[in-house]
Every structure is written in C-alpha cells, then in structure tokens.
C-alpha cells in the first residue's frame, strides 16, 4: 500500500525525482509505503517529511486505487531539504516545486492525479 501527497502552491506542485522499480527516472508526488499499524494519512505525513523536509496536513483523500492513496495536502512547516543520509531516500535524485504548466515532467501515472487535484 502506498500513500502520496499532492501539494499545490503558487501554480506549482511539490514533486520528487526518483528511480522507480521499472528502472526509469520519473517525477513523482512525494510519498511511499504504508507501514504496519499506520493509516494512509499517517504514512503520507511521515513520507513527505522524510522525502522533502516539509511538515504537512492532509486536507482530503483525492483518489484511491489499487491500494494507492493520493491525498490533497498543504505545507504547514519545515524547509525543503533532501536528507541523503536517510537510506529510504536512496532512490531520490531531486525535489522541487514543478510548474503546473511544465507538462513534460508529468507522465501517464501522475498527470491524471494532477488533473483531479486541479478540479
């Protein structure tokens, strides 16, 4: 099970550039695996903190499919920071606020979720 956050601010969305299981490098929404005894919301908050340095609050569950929970969230503290000492971040290359108009950064997995979030 996966939990991820869609965080939109000033016409940009927070994303992480990472290696994925199929070997590609893609821009993804921050998030990751839901651990035992963790709700999707708790996992999302923890994963975003680990991957981006931001403290977030979840506003709403946007979409759930195949045990993947996508939530609308907003930053309420912390600073943008990639902790390279955290082994769980070994697959992450970069973190950035990506313009909503920078369509080549989005793929067939992230674009439909982004479009849902913008409605």
The CA distance from 29 to 45, in Å, is 13
- Domain chopping of the chain, boundaries: 2-118
Burial of 83 per CB tally in 10 Å (0-12, 13-18, 19+)? middle
The 10s digit of each residue's pLDDT in 16-71 is 999 987 778 999 999 999 999 999 999 999 999 999 999 999 999 999 999 999 99
The CA distance from 104 to 88, in Å, is 27
The CA distance from 84 to 36, in Å, is 24
The topology (CATH level 3) of 2-118 is Nucleoside Triphosphate Pyrophosphohydrolase (3.90.79)
Q: Calculate the average pLDDT of the chain.
A: 95
pTM: 0.93
pLDDT at 50: 96
């Amino acid at each position: 099970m996966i939990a991820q956050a869609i965080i939109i601010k000033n016409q940009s969305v927070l994303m992480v550039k990472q290696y994925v299981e199929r070997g590609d490098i893609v821009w993804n929404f921050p998030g990751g695996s839901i651990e035992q005894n963790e709700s999707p919301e708790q996992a999302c908050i923890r994963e975003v903190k680990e991957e981006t340095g931001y403290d977030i609050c979840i506003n709403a569950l946007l979409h759930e499919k195949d045990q993947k929970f996508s939530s609308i969230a907003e930053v309420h503290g912390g600073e943008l920071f990639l902790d390279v000492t955290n082994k769980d971040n070994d697959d992450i290359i970069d973190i950035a606020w990506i313009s909503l108009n920078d369509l080549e950064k989005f793929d067939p997995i992230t674009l439909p979720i982004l479009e849902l979030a913008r409605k």
